Structure 1
Amino acid sequence: DHDKQMVERWKGEADSALIFAGLFSAVIMVSFVESYKWLLSPDSADQTVELLTQISGQLPNHTNASVKSGPSVGPTAAVMVNLAWFSSMALCFSCSVGATLIQQWARRYLVLMQGPERVYLRPFMLNGVRKFQVERTIQLMGISLHSSILFYAVGVLKFILDINTMLGFTALGICLMLGLMYLIATFLPLFFFDCPYSTPWS
């Protein structure tokens, strides 16, 4: 019936999002752990100060004054990449939590609909589904997952651009082309109601 089809659709979307989020979070975690080392590596300015201090200590008539450097701060590129990947990881985890909650809601809904009070509960529960906009909540789960992919792509682009400019602009061109296709799929349903393409933003 209608209730079962609706709940099965919820569970299907939650299952797909949970599987993809689990795999994608593993990729993000590996990248984030590796990039976090950049922030812990000694700063080049500190290394220069330390080297100059050692050289001055070997010179005759040197003073005992030591050169102090500021706190070690990672390069701007490393901070930006880590920020993008951390945001991606946070959104991916929030999607996983949301998918798990949706599965629980679906099971609870089915249990309530199987009881003897089903005839009286069904209109009440359907009104609650519309009132609390469950469909919109499920849509937000997809939005958070797609936003997670976007943040990860931004971090990858920044990482590649700092390594090699030509390679970075090539990757940027590919990402812009894919982004344009995504925007087309997002806005087409707004102008053509029979368009089968859509995204969570549509």
Structure 2
Amino acid sequence: MAAEAKIWKVYAREAKKYDDDMIRAWNASLDTLLIFAGLFSAVSTAFIIESYKLMQPDFAQLTFLAMVGKADISDLEDFEVLMTARAVNCLWISSLIASLTAALISILAKQWLTSYPVNDDDTPRGWAQMRQFRYDSLQAWHVPQIIASLPVFLHVSLLLFLAGLGVFLVPVDITTG
């Protein structure tokens, strides 16, 4: 077929419409994921900052006891991290890692989608061949499946966070936990 045949122009028009819709839908989904991942990571970080304090002795209390003469060096040596504190920190840090992983992959996917469209500088047949090459590459690299799996990272992140919150609240009040 000739490079300027009408079929190439029809294909280009239909393929552009399909690609525009596909990219628009994926970008909207990725934008939502990025907003949630960013906000959730900020909240998780605030909780981690507080729970991390449970992993070390209360130096303010030890300083106070030293100032009033009631400090004992064995207080520092006898310090033992509670198993619940370890569990909470492991769950919340794992949650943060899953959330940041989702954000990183979302950013990479948005970069892939930005470079996906083909320039109109070529003949209709050349454009069609380049577009099909990029589309096949998108499929070969499993980009649709990667984008579809990103919410799972955030679901796992949320479940880990809630599990950590449950463990964190158990010592506070047995009826709350």
Which consecutive segments of 4 or more residues in structure 1 shift more than 4 A? 66-71
Matched, 1:148 2:157: yes
Q: Provide the rounded CA distance (Å) in 2 between the counterparts of 1:163 and 1:35.
A: 13
Q: How does 1:1-202 map to 2 (within 5 A)?
A: 1-42=17-58, 72-110=79-117, 112-116=118-122, 117-168=126-177
Q: Can you list the C-alpha shifts for 1:40-97, whole angstroms capped at 9, x where unaligned?
A: 2259xxx8xx9xxx99x9xxxxxxxx97985743111111001100000001111111
Q: Can you list the C-alpha shifts for 1:139-187, whole angstroms capped at 9, x where unaligned?
A: 221111111001000000111122111111xxxxxxxxxxxxxxxxxxx
Tell me the secondary structure at the aligned position of residue 81 of structure 1: helix
Match of 2:9 in 1: none
Percent identity (aligned) = 26
Checking the alignment, whether the CA contact within 8 Å between 1:113 and 1:121 is kept in structure 2 is: no
Q: Can you list the C-alpha shifts for 1:5-57, whole angstroms capped at 9, x where unaligned?
A: 111122111101000111111100100001101112259xxx8xx9xxx99x9
Structure 1 residues 68, 2: closer, same or farther in 2, change over 3 A?
closer
| TM-aligned CA deviation for residue 118 of structure 1 | 2.1
Q: Provide the rounded CA distance (Å) in 2 between the counterparts of 1:159 and 1:67.
A: 27
Unaligned runs of at least 5 residues, structure 2:
1-16
Structure 1 residues 124, 31: closer, same or farther in 2, change over 3 A?
same
Match of 1:174 in 2: none
| TM-aligned CA deviation for residue 124 of structure 1 | 1.3
- More RCO (CA 8 Å, sep 6+): 2
Match of 1:180 in 2: none
Equivalent position amino acid for 1:106 in 2:
L
Unaligned runs of at least 5 residues, structure 1:
58-65, 169-202
Tell me the secondary structure at the aligned position of residue 167 of structure 1: coil
Count of residues in correspondence between the two structures: 151
Q: Provide the rounded CA distance (Å) in 1 between the counterparts of 2:114 and 2:104.
A: 16
Structure 1 residues 161, 147: closer, same or farther in 2, change over 3 A?
same
Equivalent position amino acid for 1:18 in 2:
L
Tell me the secondary structure at the aligned position of residue 81 of structure 2: coil
Tell me the secondary structure at the aligned position of residue 80 of structure 2: coil
